[in-house]
């Protein structure tokens, strides 16, 4: 009997509005290429270690399910933030993983994730080569943070940027309508950890019908409290409503995150990342006491990565494309690599997939170049906006049921 050709796919790290479109791309392409089964790890490699997985054919029955999956935010299979030990630290763990893979006749292992998740692809592909195992390991890029190296951008970023741009416009409208003969300062806090791609996307709000935020603070530039206060005081003399975008990850010269000045918890994930939250709240309270006017903190928080009703069509299409490209690459013999998106043209926008050695990508962070910000580090340049704009184009209308978007939800009772 011919050996079974199966694929296993997992999702890892912070979810996005389009991570499931990549899963759909893997599934569809795998079937078209004649693979026998596609398994989904439940909660990534962490769940796989507990032998938690599903046969995706028990979850996706119709073309409509694929369409729903593409429109479903968060990780359909469940995600994890789990760091594999170095191979020499725990060989038994790797043996366990490969035992599971061999029992399931896995030929291809695909992981949809960001820079931390690519560490898993790197270690597993290294172990396979070291021990002469035949499985292929491929990474599919994903992160709203857009901080993966060697890819023009990451799936998930475009949709989050679209939501952030739209929400910034709406917050500015709201604030403008409220102030009369008094000042009000609104601080919008945006995710992205040490990379300012998402915070910079608030500049998209600046358009014919909107003045855009007044100041934008990216984590790539050291934040100076005194200079910030001086800027705010100056603006207060010129206009009533002031809107400032701040990254969750802005830091002081001494290396402390601004949010650490407030009441942030001590939680640190497996990759050593602190939970960054509360920057806008801290600054809003600080300004309220310094300049004595109404202030408000708006944390976009998880909304910015789960707003599938605001997803960009370009983003969904590309997320689907990179999922399919990973299957194709593995089928053609690649391993230890991650699919990337290359920008082929800007006007009209066109992209294609490429592929790179995952060792060049895992654990690296691509930050916003300093030259894409103004001299003071308080705004992004036109070049930045021109880079983001094509990625937020087009809509992918939700399938509405009873007035709300319908999602595809894992059926945990389905047989493996
Ligand atoms: O890595 C993606 C991301 O959304 C970051 O922008 C953010 O700092 C982090 O995840 C938040 O993670 P969690 O939801 O686990 O707190």
Cα distance between residue 375 and residue 37, in whole Å: 54
Name the one residue in this structure whose structure tokens are 């992205």: 192
Q: Render each residue's pLDDT in the chain as its tens digit; 416 residues.
A: 678 899 999 999 999 999 999 999 999 999 999 999 999 999 999 999 999 999 999 999 999 999 999 999 999 999 999 999 999 999 999 999 999 999 999 999 999 999 889 999 999 999 999 999 999 999 999 999 999 999 999 999 999 999 999 999 999 999 999 898 899 999 999 999 999 999 999 999 999 999 999 999 999 999 999 999 999 999 999 999 999 999 999 999 999 999 999 876 677 777 778 788 899 999 999 999 999 899 999 999 999 999 999 999 999 999 999 999 999 999 999 999 999 999 999 999 999 999 999 999 988 899 999 999 999 999 999 999 999 999 999 999 999 999 999 999 999 887 56
Closest residue by CA, ligand 1 atom 2: 14
Closest residue by CA, ligand 1 atom 15: 14
Using the atom order of ligand 1, give the atom closest to the CA of residue 276: 8
Strand 6-11 and strand 294-299: the pairing is unpaired
Does a cis peptide bond (omega within 30 degrees of 0) precede residue 263?
no
Q: Which residues line ligand 1 (CB under 6 A)?
A: 13-14, 114, 143-145, 191-193, 248, 275-276, 305
Q: Do domains 6-143+310-363+395-414 and 157-306 have the same CATH topology?
A: yes
Contacts of 397 (CB under 8 A, 6+ apart): none
Q: Which CATH superfamily is domain 157-306 in?
A: Phosphofructokinase domain (3.40.50.460)
The rounded Å distance from CA 385 to ligand 1 centre is: 23
Contacts of 43 (CB under 8 A, 6+ apart): 52, 77, 78, 79, 80
Hey, where are the domains in the chain? 6-143+310-363+395-414, 157-306
What counts of helices (H) and strands (E) characterise the chain? 12, 13
6-143+310-363+395-414 folds as: Rossmann fold (3.40.50)
Region for residue 412 given its phi and psi (left: phi exceeds 0; alpha: psi -120 to 50; beta: otherwise): alpha
Angle between helix 19-32 and 63-70 (nearest 10): 150
Closest residue by CA, ligand 1 atom 4: 14
Residue from 44, 161, 193, 267 to probe ligand 1 pocket by mutation (most atoms less than 8 Å from CB): 193
The rounded Å distance from CA 90 to ligand 1 centre is: 28
Using the atom order of ligand 1, give the atom closest to the CA of residue 273: 8
Choosing from 36, 105, 116, 145, the catalytic residue is: 145
145 is catalytic: yes
Query: Which H helix or E strand runs over 55?
Result: strand 53-55
At 272 the three-state DSSP class reads coil
Sheet arrangement for strand 53-55: 53-55, 37-41, 6-11, 106-113, 136-141, 337-346, 349-357
CA 331, 333, 336, 342 dihedral sign is: negative
pTM equals 0.96
């Amino acid at each position: 009997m011919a050996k079974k050709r199966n694929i296993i796919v997992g999702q890892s790290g912070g979810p996005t509005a389009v991570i499931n479109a990549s899963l759909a791309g893997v599934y569809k392409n795998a079937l078209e290429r004649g693979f026998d089964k596609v398994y989904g790890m439940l909660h990534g490699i962490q769940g796989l270690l507990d032998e938690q997985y599903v046969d995706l054919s028990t979850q996706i029955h119709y073309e409509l399910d694929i369409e729903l999956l593409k429109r479903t935010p968060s990780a359909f299979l469940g995600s994890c933030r789990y760091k594999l030990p170095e191979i020499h630290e725990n060989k038994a763990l790797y043996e366990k993983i490969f035992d599971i893979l061999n029992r399931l006749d896995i030929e291809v292992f695909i992981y949809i994730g960001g820079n931390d998740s690519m560490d898993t692809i790197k270690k597993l592909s290294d172990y396979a080569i070291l021990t002469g195992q035949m499985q292929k390991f491929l990474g599919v890029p994903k992160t709203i943070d857009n901080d993966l190296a060697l890819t023009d951008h990451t799936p998930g970023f475009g949709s989050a940027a679209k939501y952030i741009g739209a929400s910034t416009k709406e917050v500015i409208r709201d604030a403008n309508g409220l102030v009369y003969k008094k000042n009000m300062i609104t601080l919008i806090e945006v995710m992205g950890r040490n990379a300012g791609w998402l915070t910079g996307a608030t500049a998209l709000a600046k358009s014919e019908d909107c003045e855009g935020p007044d100041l934008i603070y990216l984590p790539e530039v050291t934040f100076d409290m005194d200079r910030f206060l001086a800027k705010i005081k100056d603006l207060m003399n010129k206009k009533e409503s002031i809107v400032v975008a701040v990254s969750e990850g802005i830091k002081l010269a001494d290396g402390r995150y601004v949010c650490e000045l407030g009441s942030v918890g001590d939680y640190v994930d497996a990759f050593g990342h602190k939970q960054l939250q509360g920057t806008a709240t801290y600054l809003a309270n600080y300004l309220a006491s310094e300049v004595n006017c109404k202030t408000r903190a708006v944390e976009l928080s998880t909304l910015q990565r789960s707003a599938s009703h605001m997803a960009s069509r370009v983003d969904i299409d590309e997320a689907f494309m990179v999922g399919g490209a990973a299957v194709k690459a593995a089928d053609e013999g690649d391993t230890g690599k991650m699919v990337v998106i290359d920008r082929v043209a800007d006007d009209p926008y066109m992209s294609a997939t490429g592929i790179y050695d995952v060792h060049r990508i895992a654990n690296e962070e691509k930050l916003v170049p300093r030259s894409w910000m103004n001299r003071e580090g308080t705004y992004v340049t036109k070049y930045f906006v021109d880079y983001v704009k094509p990625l937020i184009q087009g809509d992918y209308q939700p399938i509405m049921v009873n007035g709300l978007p319908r999602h595809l939800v894992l059926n945990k009772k389905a047989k493996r």
